[in-house]
Structure 1
Amino acid sequence: MTAVFDLPSLPQVPVAGTEATFPVRRIFCVGRNYAAHAAEMGVEVDREAPFYFTKTPWAICQTGSTIPYPLETRDYHYEMEFVVAIGKPAFRVTTDTALEHVFGYACGLDMTRRDLQAQAKDTRRPWDLGKDVEDSAVIAAITPAAGFTPADQRITLSVNGAVKQDATLTEMIWSVPEIIAHLSRFYHLQPGDLIFTGTPAGVGPVVAGDSMTGTIDGLAPVALTLGDPE
């Protein structure tokens, strides 16, 4: 059989310090993983289990890009996140062994059409139009796990040089091992999967012309600039 058309190859993310790239298979995102962020969104944290939404691989956007202000929104928000890249199959793993399945870590932005997400929440519909947006999973180069151990690193986001988000990774409600172990009960995690682990408080809107820079101590920073709408 012959396909009626060819699809582009999977998005690739650079691996810091090498010529290698990391092909992106799937993107999982953890919701409300910082208590202060949940509070600013007017919701309570579910401390019994993490919850997730997804983005397609085609949402990947390379750091340093300038992208058009997205379609059909008037309230586009930044969310700075710590990203985990899976490098070995993980199925029903424990928290004790979860980090053995990690390829590396990166800075990321979960860009969100907040007005569309709010409409979905109000009508109890899926968040896809608010979250799974073209160029909305912005990511920096991935640092291999051997060169980074998640601990109390500072995570920040600045817009046009002004700090908007400032927290530490220890403020996450669900740790990286806990997230991997829990998610691996529902999916056969595979090399190429990315997990965006949630955002601290301080999220807010950006407009055309704004530039964002996100940092996590020890990782390559992530940057994005918004251009005019199409």
Structure 2
Amino acid sequence: MNGSFRYVRKFIIHRKTVSKFHEQRLFSFNCFQKRTFSVNTNPLEMRFVQFKSVAGGPQRLGVQLSLDGDIVDVSAVDSCIPNNLVEFLRGGERFIERAKRIVADGKSITPLSQVELLSPVIGPDKVVCVGLNYTGHCEEQNLSKPQEPCIFNKFPCVIVGPYCDVIHPSNTKALDWEVELAVVIGKTAKEVLRKDALDYVFGYTVAQDITARDWMKNRNNGQWLLGKSMDTFCPLGPAVVMKEYVSDPHNLAISCSVNGEVKQNATTSELIFRVDDIIAYVSHFVTLLPGDIILTGTPAGVGVFRNPREFLKPGDVIESEIAQIGKLRNTVVQKN
């Protein structure tokens, strides 16, 4: 009887050991599968772009495989995936997972040389902006740090692509540059808590907040809207990098040059109100929707506060760059 008991007990222990071994093997295999995808996907591989073929045709939605790299045409591979990012984000996680699988399969790759990159976000519901949000930008104006975010907006229709011309309006003599980190909202956010706010971010891109200073400061009864929202006043792109592929949005090099001369050079660590602060704050006033854009502010070095003042003129080339995300290159042209 005792011998039989010992045999049964030994058998049960053996079964448990084997079962545990298989569980470990399965766990290791699953982890290996996840690690394999991660290893094969460098930090810039989920860079969402909107583009058209240089030969013509409709707008497409794609994922650029690396900075300045070729593009996986996800909307061509899967007809269920919309050809624009705002509608894609409205579809939620199901579209995101489909896009990741397509990228992993490496299907329908289009050379960058064969496309025209558009703004990665077109037609968002809102473009929310934050003023006075870098310590250096406050210091160059001899201003104290604000106690709460300074919120204004730009009309969504003024968004243009990463390499589009910026029109110099005939009614301003004080056109200025402002490079900014832009946040793209991934899902509906209403009255969110700061600790949860980053869950609502889809990704990050580069923005140039072109500003007519004379209209911002001295016209329109002191309201900023017109000085910020003339045609072409929001170059955006070249890609929206998903948040998990940006190491730290609050520690990125950010710079702007005009005609090759560096005007702004800082890091996003200077942000007074961080991305989670801004989302939590704004979402208590207005519902943020998928595809909405938040411009988080600009560092020191804008033209109006230089000595002597400097303003953009037709022919000037503005380059706006943020580490891990990319660079805009926009030429100022005279309005016809």
TM-score bin (small chain) = 0.7 to 0.9
| Of 30, 35, 38, the match for 2:138 | 38
| Distance (whole Å) between structure 2 residues aligned to residue 142 and residue 110 of structure 1 | 17
Equivalent residues of 1:73, 1:116 under 8 A apart: yes
Residue 221 of structure 1: CA displacement? Answer: 1.1
TM-score (norm 1): 0.88
The residue correspondences of 1:21-32 to structure 2 (distance < 5 A) are 21-23=84-86, 24-32=124-132
Q: Deviations over 1:110-130 (max 9, x none)?
A: 000011111048x5x311221
Letter in 1 for 2:85: F
What is the DSSP-based 3-state SS (H/G/I as helix, E as strand, rest coil) of the residue aligned with 1:65? coil
| Distance (whole Å) between structure 2 residues aligned to residue 144 and residue 157 of structure 1 | 23
| Distance (whole Å) between structure 2 residues aligned to residue 139 and residue 13 of structure 1 | 11
Which structure would you say has the larger Rg? 2
Larger RCO, structures 1/2 (Cα 8 Å, 6+ apart): 1
Residue 163 of structure 1: CA displacement? Answer: 0.7
Against the structure 1 CA distance between its residues 144 and 227, is the aligned structure 2 distance closer, same or farther, given a 3 Å change threshold?
same
Residue 150 of structure 1: CA displacement? Answer: 1.0
| Distance (whole Å) between structure 2 residues aligned to residue 120 and residue 171 of structure 1 | 30
Equivalent residues of 2:161, 2:236 under 8 A apart: yes
| Distance (whole Å) between structure 1 residues aligned to residue 254 and residue 273 of structure 2 | 16
1:216 aligns with 2:322: yes
| Distance (whole Å) between structure 2 residues aligned to residue 38 and residue 187 of structure 1 | 26
1:143 aligns with 2:241: yes
1:127 aligns with 2:190: no
1:100 aligns with 2:193: no
Q: Which residue of 2 aligns with 1:7?
A: none
Structure 1: 5+ residue stretches without partners: 1-11
Equivalent residues of 2:166, 2:233 under 8 A apart: no
Moved more, 21-30 or 178-187: 21-30
| Distance (whole Å) between structure 2 residues aligned to residue 102 and residue 71 of structure 1 | 37
What is the DSSP-based 3-state SS (H/G/I as helix, E as strand, rest coil) of the residue aligned with 1:206? coil
Letter in 1 for 2:134: Y
| Distance (whole Å) between structure 1 residues aligned to residue 210 and residue 63 of structure 2 | 23
Bigger strand share: 1
1:110 aligns with 2:216: no
Letter in 2 for 1:77: D
1:206 aligns with 2:312: yes
Equivalent residues of 1:30, 1:196 under 8 A apart: yes
| Distance (whole Å) between structure 2 residues aligned to residue 22 and residue 114 of structure 1 | 32
Moved more, 105-114 or 32-41: 32-41
Q: Which residue of 1 aligns with 2:172?
A: 73
Q: Which residue of 1 aligns with 2:333?
A: 227
Residue 155 of structure 1: CA displacement? Answer: 0.3
| Distance (whole Å) between structure 2 residues aligned to residue 178 and residue 51 of structure 1 | 12
| Of 158, 161, 166, the match for 1:59 | 158
Q: Deviations over 1:48-97 (max 9, x none)?
A: 21021111110101110123312310010000000000011111111211
Equivalent residues of 2:167, 2:232 under 8 A apart: no
| Of 285, 295, 301, the match for 1:186 | 285
Letter in 1 for 2:314: A
Equivalent residues of 1:16, 1:142 under 8 A apart: no
What is the DSSP-based 3-state SS (H/G/I as helix, E as strand, rest coil) of the residue aligned with 2:272? coil
| Distance (whole Å) between structure 1 residues aligned to residue 219 and residue 276 of structure 2 | 30
TM-score (norm 2): 0.61
Q: Deviations over 1:6-34 (max 9, x none)?
A: xxxxxx96365254532322100001001
| Distance (whole Å) between structure 2 residues aligned to residue 39 and residue 112 of structure 1 | 19
Moved more, 101-110 or 147-156: 147-156
Equivalent residues of 1:13, 1:62 under 8 A apart: no
Letter in 2 for 1:34: Y
What is the DSSP-based 3-state SS (H/G/I as helix, E as strand, rest coil) of the residue aligned with 2:278? helix
| Distance (whole Å) between structure 1 residues aligned to residue 203 and residue 142 of structure 2 | 33
Equivalent residues of 1:143, 1:220 under 8 A apart: no
What is the DSSP-based 3-state SS (H/G/I as helix, E as strand, rest coil) of the residue aligned with 1:221? strand
**CA-based RMSD:** 1.9
Equivalent residues of 2:316, 2:331 under 8 A apart: yes
Moved more, 179-188 or 60-69: 60-69
> Identity over the aligned pairs, expressed in percent?
34
